[in-house]
Structure 1
Amino acid sequence: MQPKIVALTEKKVVGMQSKMLMHQYENIIKLWKSFMPKKHELKNTINQELIAIQDYPDFGNLETSYNIWACAEVSDFINIPDSMQPFTISEGLYAVFLHKGMDAGKTYQRIMTEWLPNSGYNIDDRPHFQVMGDKYKNGSPDSEEDFYIPVIMTT
């Protein structure tokens, strides 16, 4: 499990958000079912990729709710559909992991328990997100997506 470390520039996204607690996976499904039929309303997307964001106010605290997003990257925040909101993913270092299959929880656990403790990095206080491109196949064991974990070098 070896990620690419990338210096990401700011990303503008537009989509829908919801709050959830850990293990409330039905909220994720509900959010995407709301977003996908309206995605075509976005006229300024820069590609066909979908982005899932988790914005944690207190990362690691399982009792704290956090915001999740179903969105797409856009060139600007002009003409945002009424049912959607803008969000900016801040620039910074990200560890990017290729995830295959549908068990995202298992991959995420391996990142946090196996890779992170020996990596020389700490989790940064920025959103985590996944990019689902042309190799993403919802519900398929052949599906691929990239996990972006915000990191900073340990001191």
Structure 2
Amino acid sequence: MDSKIISIEKKYLVGKKIEMSLVESLTPILWKSFVPKIGSISNRVSTEKISLSVYPLDYFQNFNPNRKFIKWAGVEVSSVMDLPEGMEVLEIPAGLYSVFLYKGSVAESGPFFEWIFRDWFPKSGYDLDNRPHFELLGDKYINDDPSSEEFVYIPIKPR
């Protein structure tokens, strides 16, 4: 699996969020409440959707699948004016990301993420940075489909 290192500019996400854990995933509920509202969001940058996670500072050092984090369902916008009712804004800070292409269903993604954290990071020359992690869901993303494709953005900083 290849990755590419990119630097992103600050981005603004408009969407909905929920606190959850990996064991008690509320992702389907979050997306079900968000998708019907997408058309009411103005100033969208693209048709892509963003699934984003904000983890506590030591989440990965003290990993526990029952530990809570914040999950977002959203879209990138060029302006945060005229927010639809019930929507919130998150600023994604500028910084370095390692971007991976993931092919497959979300249910089968465990080994992919395990490879990133157990194999890729130790050999990479980078450490995990404390910024949001996100997946860019474009035209080739098909929910729960083995042929689905998405880009996974992991925040990094030089060692």
- Structure 1 length-normalised TM: 0.94
How many Å separate the matches in 1 of 2:45 and 2:109? Answer: 26
| Counterparts of 2:93 and 2:53, CA distance in 1 | 13
Which region of structure 1 is more displaced relative to structure 2, 52-61 or 83-92? 52-61
- For 1:8, the equivalent position in structure 2 comes to 8
Question: In the alignment, residue 120 of structure 2 is paired with which amino acid?
Answer: W
Pick aligned residue for 1:133 from 134, 138, 141 = 138
Give how far 1:22 is off: 2.4
Write the distance in 1 (CA, Å) between the matches of 2:111 and 2:28.
18
Per-residue deviation, residues 101-149 of structure 1 (Å, max 9, x unmatched): 1123321111111111111111000010000011111121111000000
Local SS of the residue matching 2:2:
coil
> What letter is aligned with 2:96?
L
**How many corresponding residue pairs?**
153
1:116 aligns with 2:121: yes
SS across alignment from 2:152? strand
Determine which of 63, 68, 74 is the counterpart of 1:65.
68
Q: Distance in 2 between matches of 1:38 and 1:106?
A: 33
1:83 paired with 2:83, answer no
Per-residue CA distance 1:20-45 (angstroms, 9 max, x = gap): 122222x0111001101111110211
Identical aligned residues as a percent: 39
Structure 1 unaligned blocks of 5 or more: none
* Partner Cα distance (1:24, 1:127) in 2: 20
SS at match of 1:152: strand
State the Cα RMSD in Å: 1.1
- Write the distance in 2 (CA, Å) between the matches of 1:104 and 1:49: 20
- Secondary structure (helix, strand or coil) at the match of 1:98 reads strand
What SS class does the counterpart of residue 142 from structure 1 fall into?
coil
- Which letter maps to 1:131? L
Whether 1:151 and 2:156 are equivalent positions in the alignment is yes
Return the letter of the residue paired with 1:153. Answer: P
With structure 2 as the length reference, what TM-score do the two structures score?
0.92
* Alpha-carbon distance in 1 for matches of 2:87, 2:109: 26
Any idea what the Cα deviations from partners look like across 1:57-80, whole Å, max 9, x if unmatched? 232132531100000000111001
Name stretches of at least 5 consecutive residues in structure 2 with no aligned partner: none
Cα distance in 1 between the residues matched to 2:73 and 2:91: 13
What is the match of residue 97 of structure 1?
A: 100
